[in-house]
Amino acid sequence: MSKLFSSIDFKGVTLKNRIVMAPMCMYSCMAEDGKITPFHVTHYTSRAVGQVGLIMLEATAVQPTGRISPQDLGIWNDEHIEGLKALNEQLHHYGSKTAIQLAHAGRKAQLDSTIYAPSPLAFSESYKTPKEMTEEDIKETMEAFKTAARRAKQANFDVVELHAAHGYLINQFLSPLTNNRTDQYGGARENRYRFLEEIISAVKQEWTGPLFVRISTNEYATGSNTMDDFLYYAKKMHEQDVDLIDCSSGGVVPASIQAYPGYQVPRCETIKREAGIATGAVGLITTGVQAEEIIQNDRADLVFLARVLLRDPYWPRTAANELNEKLSAPKQYERGW
């Protein structure tokens, strides 16, 4: 029996299999209003027809100044709810559960407006120098995450994920490479964690469903967070009743990364084992056998797939064939399945 195709429950939300569509920015809001377009509906619904268990929407900005680009998806306004809700209805129709990745780009925003970060350090020469966030800016941003969680609930998402990876705003607070603050949000790791800690608490006031957090488990630079730090953060999140840590890596500072099949899985496995929290593995997971090995050996509870799902929206079917599993088809497709 394949474990990849077994169901799993998070706070009463049952995913029909362990396959997650990883968040992928599509930069497709051409009107620059953050709203769902027909492209998004086609793009995500194709993967729901393809039987992906959990479809996670791309990094979705909680504030306009937190967008990576002007074409990012947004959830900073009540006007965003309608499109997201209609999309969810489609995805649920095909049996997928849905998630939204709440995001703020911080110093990695490429916008004309002022950009914000814990410290006034540019990511590289081609990025703007951000404004150091005041306590008031911090409070506003937390409020934005909280309000976004309320909108996610109104739009009928099943899962919320906080984007604390890839060098975006939350990650900038967590990492000693990007956080030079001398107040209660900087310095020791207890302080660097505070921003995420308070966002989790704020979001939980509005959102009682499953909560995932994506972190970068390796910063590929000297002076960065260590595995001991990541375990400290993971244990704190577990205490805060976060349901799963989605274990990615990189993006904090410019660095060259040697990527190979499953390159992020060992750290994901360590976090699962040492912190006793469910984890999601991501990064060059491309075959059914590889995904099955990760789940069967308890190295992760979910596999997140990105680029392979761009190539093959019906990847679950491809994997099922590889693993001799029978996957049900949407009724209309039964004759060809």
> Under a CB-based contact definition with an 8 Å cutoff, are residues 269 and 300 in contact?
yes
Binding mask 244-263 for ligand FMN (x = CB under 6 A): ----x---------------
Q: Which stretch binds ligand FMN (CB under 6 A): 32-40, 84-92, 269-277, 283-291?
A: 283-291
Q: Does residue number 122 form part of the binding site for ligand FMN (CB under 6 A)?
A: no
CB of 101 to ligand FMN, least distance (A): 6
Restricting to residues 83-102, name those near ligand FMN by CB under 6 A.
101
Q: Of these, 4, 20, 22, 144, which contacts ligand FMN (CB under 6 A)?
A: 22
Angle of helix 189-206 relative to helix 227-239, nearest 10 degrees? 30
Q: Does residue number 171 form part of the binding site for ligand FMN (CB under 6 A)?
A: no
CA torsion, ordered 232, 238, 242, 243, to nearest 10 deg: 120
Q: Does residue number 71 form part of the binding site for ligand FMN (CB under 6 A)?
A: no
Token code pair at residue 65 = 């100044």
Q: Of these, 80, 97, 163, 192, which contacts ligand FMN (CB under 6 A)?
A: 163
Q: Which residues contact 231 (CB under 8 A, 6 or more apart)?
A: 270, 271, 274, 275
| Cα torsion 107, 84, 146, 213: sign | negative
26 CB neighbour count, 10 Å cutoff: 17
Q: Which residues contact 112 (CB under 8 A, 6 or more apart)?
A: none
Q: Does residue number 282 form part of the binding site for ligand FMN (CB under 6 A)?
A: yes
Binding mask 202-231 for ligand FMN (x = CB under 6 A): ------------x-----------------
| Cα torsion 145, 147, 150, 156: sign | negative
Q: Which stretch binds ligand FMN (CB under 6 A): 178-186, 268-276, 301-309, 324-332?
A: 301-309
Q: Of these, 2, 8, 16, 58, which contacts ligand FMN (CB under 6 A)?
A: 58
Q: Which residues contact 281 (CB under 8 A, 6 or more apart)?
A: 247, 262, 264, 265, 268, 269, 294, 299, 300, 302, 303, 304
Token code pair at residue 132 = 């150091």
CB of 66 to ligand FMN, least distance (A): 12
Q: Which stretch binds ligand FMN (CB under 6 A): 10-18, 36-44, 109-117, 280-288?
A: 280-288
Q: Which is nearer to ligand FMN, 166 or 299 (CB)?
A: 166
Q: Does residue number 18 form part of the binding site for ligand FMN (CB under 6 A)?
A: no
Q: Does residue number 165 form part of the binding site for ligand FMN (CB under 6 A)?
A: yes
Q: Which stretch binds ligand FMN (CB under 6 A): 138-146, 182-190, 231-239, 277-285?
A: 277-285
Q: Which is nearer to ligand FMN, 282 or 300 (CB)?
A: 282
- Start-end of H helices in the chain: 38-49, 81-93, 135-154, 169-174, 189-206, 227-239, 265-275, 288-296, 307-311, 315-322
Cα 189 from Cα 28, distance rounded (Å):
37
Token code pair at residue 72 = 């990012």
Residue nearest to ligand FMN (CB): 306
Enter the DSSP assignment of 112.
S
Closest alpha carbon to 80 in 151, 162, 1, 26: 151
Q: Does residue number 23 form part of the binding site for ligand FMN (CB under 6 A)?
A: yes
CB of 13 to ligand FMN, least distance (A): 20
CB of 332 to ligand FMN, least distance (A): 28
Q: Contact residues for ligand FMN (CB under 6 A)? A: 22-25, 58-59, 101, 163, 165-166, 214, 248, 282-285, 305-308
